[in-house]
A and B are shown apart, each in its own frame.
Chain A
Amino acid sequence: MALFGKLFAALKKTKENVSSKLRLLFAKNKLGDDFYDELEEILISADVSVRTAEDVIDQVKEEAIGEKLKDQQFVTDLLKDILQDTLEEAPIPEISYPCVIMLVGVNGVGKTTTIGKLAHYFKRTGKSVVLAAGDTFRAAAADQLSVWADRAGVRIVRHEEGSDPSAVVFDAVSSAKARKTDVVIVDTAGRLHVKANLMAELSKMNRVVEREYPEATFYKLLVLDATTGQNAFNQAQVFDETVDLDGIVLTKLDGTAKGGFVVSLCGELNIPVWFAGVGEKMEDLEPFDAEEFVEGFF
């Protein structure tokens, strides 16, 4: 993978924005509380959470003393280092096979599309894949996933609309065991994290996989929309409590949104970002690279 691939291109828009703001800020060349406030705002305008932005600024304050604070390059590098360190606090594990990957998230973040891309990604690396159409709630969700299964050339297990998603998972896992499939990818219905009943349904699916397929590694990924704001943190927190998340897929980075909230997720919840969605095509999924992300940021 090119070090500065699509992710970089996608983030370039962000980059221009942040650097130009930094330049403006340095042009004013002033110190004191106003300066720190503005520095903090630059991060917040990239959807970094207020709390994380404050932490980062505190760190900058500690390290940049006196004259150094007027040095644009110094502060930029300092910020970059702090952000990258934070992102790398949560390492991405090496995937071991056979495995089950379950995607969870609120409505409309792009779970089904991401599954199509993931199927393609694993298929390309020579793995066999089966999809479980676990979104039995949204109208035509299974149809949508079937189209992706066709495109990626992988199998799909689906039931009728309105049926128990845990039963779909059960069947997909059984099928994977029988056919020695490397990767099972489970789709789930979008649910707002505040709906306790739907979150309980997710725990049930979780238990089915753990009970029926203990020999497989089980990864739970939260799909987050890059256009989301500060609520992303709440989402991650609650989903993590329910299914113990292993990672994040950040979608829709091809827009103008920055997805800065991932810094808080890595730093505070210790959940790494695995992949980034950078377009609508099947190939538009890139392994997340902290350096690249931060480099694109500034």
Chain B
Amino acid sequence: MAIFGSLSERLNHIFSKLTKHGRLTELEIKQAMREVRIALLEADVNLKVAKQFIATVSEKAVGQEILSSLNPTQQVIKIVNEELTALMGSKNAKLEVSSSLPTVIMMCGLQGAGKTTLCGKLAVLLKKQGKKPLLVAGDIYRPAAIDQLKVVGGKAGAEVFERGTQSPVKTAKEAIDYAKKNGFDTVILDTAGRLHIDEALMQELENITKAVKVTEILLTVDSMTGQDAVNVANTFNSRLEITGVILTKLDGDTRGGACLSIKAVTGKPIKFIGVGEKLTDLEPFYPDRMASRILGMGDVLSLIEKAQEAVTEEQARKMQERLKSNAFTLSDYLEQFEAMKRMGGAQKMLSMMPNMGKLKIGEGDIDEKKLERTKAIILSMTMQERENPAIVNSSRKKRIAAGSGTSVQEINQLLKQYEQMKLLMKQMKGNKGRFRMPF
């Protein structure tokens, strides 16, 4: 909600009242922590968890660390961010493998958390690792749930084992026998969504864990869950002793504070996050990135990492030199597009930038096709034109338009954009180090 702005804006506001930055009083820390608390609550972090967290952070903040700081806002955010990261676990966890095959993974969670889709995603992931997964239909209650798993299995290229509406406990046992006989090394058990207070269905899950040797029990949680996340996680964990958590639907604009609550009450690692509707949209969990998301600071780290993958050191160095000499040409412009594409497209990139959620930039707003047209235009230019766009006169424009299958207007548009970009680069250069492009 825009009215509150991001945490850093709010903290800046508090500290702006200080005549000289530097020394922080206990009162100021208290005020800052109030803002941090609101930020956490707005992100759906459970109240108790948030309070406990604030207490820990306040203690650290009162010490030398913050008093000797140069920029109070940055210092507070740094401490908060570090503590948050530490609380969510420092390393991303992997799936356990059983010493006696098959490895059995049981999914559980509330209705609508995204278990069935996740089964497909896990199957795809395991196949990529060279494993042979078997999907088992254990949701015998929701109408057409088995059909859904079959379709998902088909898309994932994994076999689906089903025994209609017979008891899921029996199905699980038979599935494991089947897996052993047919060389499947991993069995993924889909189960029915259930409220954590549904005694009969919780008992059913317990019975499965007693009947077969389960290696992983993964709790699937919708990342948009609110304060109730602690109750859900606590109940599932105390009944089943879960081994890990998967957060789904993180491609939305939720801040995902439920994640912190779950980690705090269960102590179990968050193993993966679901970030889209495609079966490949499953990513490892990085506590540091989640921390900045909860604080509303975007996923800057992910962005930087992706940029590193997409742009080689050499390219980056060359780009930097060109920027220095102010020789940013259309060829560089083109190179940037290519890099952006390797980073998963403009839309994905923007979604990882801080505060972009608020701007509501959807996939339709950035027209990837238009980027393609831009590329076609540049490729239809001569080398000379690309290095020095100023020489592009109207007859050249007509030729380029014909060559790229576009119009003169589009070329004018591109040239204007390029001029703006150049100007922007110039400004950023003047702003040393404060805003560095990932390229």
Contact = CB atoms under 8 A, between A and B. Distances in A.
Interface string A43-56: 01111011100000
B232 interface: yes
A197 B1 CA distance: 23
Contact of A229 (B110, B225, B253, B360): B225
A192 B43 contact: no
A27 interface: no
Q: Give the size category of B's interface with A.
A: 35 or more
B143 interface: yes
Interface in B1-49: 1, 3-4, 34, 38, 41-44, 46-47
B305 interface: no
Contact of A194 (B47, B228, B362): B362
Contacts of A51: 1, 3-4
A192 B144 CA distance: 22
A236 B46 CA distance: 22
B437 interface: no
B257 interface: yes
Given A110-B111, A200-B364, A49 B1 contact: yes
Interface in B99-147: 110-114, 116, 142-145, 147
A127 interface: no
B226 A196 contact: no
Q: Which of B155, B196, B249, B252 has the most CB of A within 10 A?
A: B252
B218 interface: no
Contact of A44 (B41, B116, B253): B41
Nearest to A190: B112
A255 B197 contact: yes
A108 B222 contact: yes
Interface in A30-79: 37, 41, 44-47, 49-51
Chain A interface residue number, banded: 35 or more
A193 interface: yes
A228 interface: yes
Contacts of A50: 1, 4, 38, 41-42
A230 B226 contact: yes
Contacts of A110: 111-112
Interface string B33-73: 01000100111101100000000000000000000000000
A195 B351 CA distance: 11
A257 interface: yes
B44 A229 contact: yes
A46 B1 contact: no
Interface stretch (A81-89, A142-150, A163-171): A142-150
A148 B143 contact: yes
Which of B4, B112, B222 is packed against the most chain A CB atoms within 10 Å? B112
Given A255-B195, A257-B228, A193 B41 contact: no
B228 A227 contact: yes
B238 to A, nearest CB: 14
A108 B227 contact: no
A129 to B, nearest CB: 17
B314 interface: no
B228 A108 contact: no
Interface of B: 1, 3-4, 34, 38, 41-44, 46-47, 110-114, 116, 142-145, 147-148, 150-152, 155, 195-197, 222, 224-229, 231-232, 249, 251-255, 257-258, 351, 357, 360, 362-365
Given A140-B150, A257-B226, 4 more contacts: A143-B147, A227-B232, A252-B195, A258-B227
